């Protein structure tokens, strides 16, 4: 049976696009990106853009999470538009059809970078490299990627995303204050 993916969560202000491979069973059932409760996608993203409100936001509706994602200049989509697959594992994907990745620069004129969420997505980096943007390979947010701790994944995601996203003015002020505190400390 042929499965069809989800429409992209993008806007003209999208600066960084996180590309997964294809939605899992739970995501397709709920029609929500990263719908499996043990997938760390939302926890990782909101640990970066709104760390003080991460728990509250992750517990909120998909509509609220999606809106905040887009407002933070982050987009979300998948490499594959459709495929055949039993279960949710990327290794079971067969007869996949790619999404129209070449159209991204027109659809997202402020796009600065592509971040591939996991190895299967990254295996198609040649298509995103053609856009002439920086490309990042993120450790998968999937619960199947148990060899990486949450903290290790978060550090890799921060390194890739932070240079390209627009934090809320509240977050900018908080990060600026932390930087000022650090710079005021003198070495012993």
pLDDT the model gives residue 177 = 52
Here the tokens at position 149 are: 């701790």
Q: Are 156 and 118 in contact (CB under 8 A)?
A: no
- Which has more pLDDT, 36 or 171? 36
Catalytic residue, from 39, 40, 99, 117: name it.
Answer: 39
Question: Active site includes 39?
Answer: yes
Give the least confident one: 36-50, 73-87, 168-182. Answer: 168-182
What's the CATH architecture for 2-184? 3-Layer(aba) Sandwich (3.40)
Helix (H, G, I), strand (E, B) or coil at 5: coil
Question: For residues 186 and 38, what is the distance between their CA atoms, to the nearest angstrom?
Answer: 42
DSSP H or E stretch at residue 151: helix 150-161
Half-sphere exposure of residue 121, counting CA atoms within 13 Å on the CB side? 27
How would DSSP label each residue in 114-145? EEEESHHHHTTHHHHHTTTS-EEEEPP-STT-
pLDDT the model gives residue 34 = 96
pLDDT the model gives residue 187 = 36
For strands 80-84 and 2-4, give the pairing. Answer: antiparallel
With 80 as the cut, is the pLDDT of residue 30 above it? yes
pLDDT the model gives residue 186 = 37
Mean pLDDT of 36-43: 95
pTM for this model (two decimals): 0.87
Order of all β-strands in the sheet with 80-84: 2-4, 80-84, 94-98
pLDDT the model gives residue 21 = 96
Mean per-residue pLDDT of the chain:
89
The pLDDT tens digits for 109-139 are: 999 999 999 999 999 999 999 999 999 999 9
């Amino acid at each position: 049976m042929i499965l069809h993916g989800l429409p992209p969560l993008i806007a003209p202000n999208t600066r960084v696009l996180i590309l997964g491979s294809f939605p899992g069973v739970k995501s397709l059932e709920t029609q929500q990106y990263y719908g499996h409760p043990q997938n760390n996608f939302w926890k990782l993203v909101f640990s970066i853009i709104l760390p003080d409100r991460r728990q509250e936001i992750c517990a909120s509706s998909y509509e609220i999470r999606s809106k905040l994602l887009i407002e933070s200049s982050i987009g979300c989509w998948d490499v594959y538009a459709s495929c055949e697959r039993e279960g949710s594992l990327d290794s079971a994907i067969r007869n996949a059809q790619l999404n129209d990745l070449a159209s991204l620069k027109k659809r997202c004129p402020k796009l600065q970078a592509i971040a591939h969420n996991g190895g299967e997505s990254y295996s198609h980096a040649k298509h995103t490299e053609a856009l002439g943007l920086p490309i990042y390979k993120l450790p998968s947010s999937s619960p199947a990627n148990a060899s990486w701790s949450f903290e290790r994944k978060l550090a890799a995601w921060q390194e890739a995303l932070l240079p390209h996203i627009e934090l809320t003015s509240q977050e900018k002020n908080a990060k600026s204050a932390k930087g000022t505190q650090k710079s005021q400390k003198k070495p012993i």
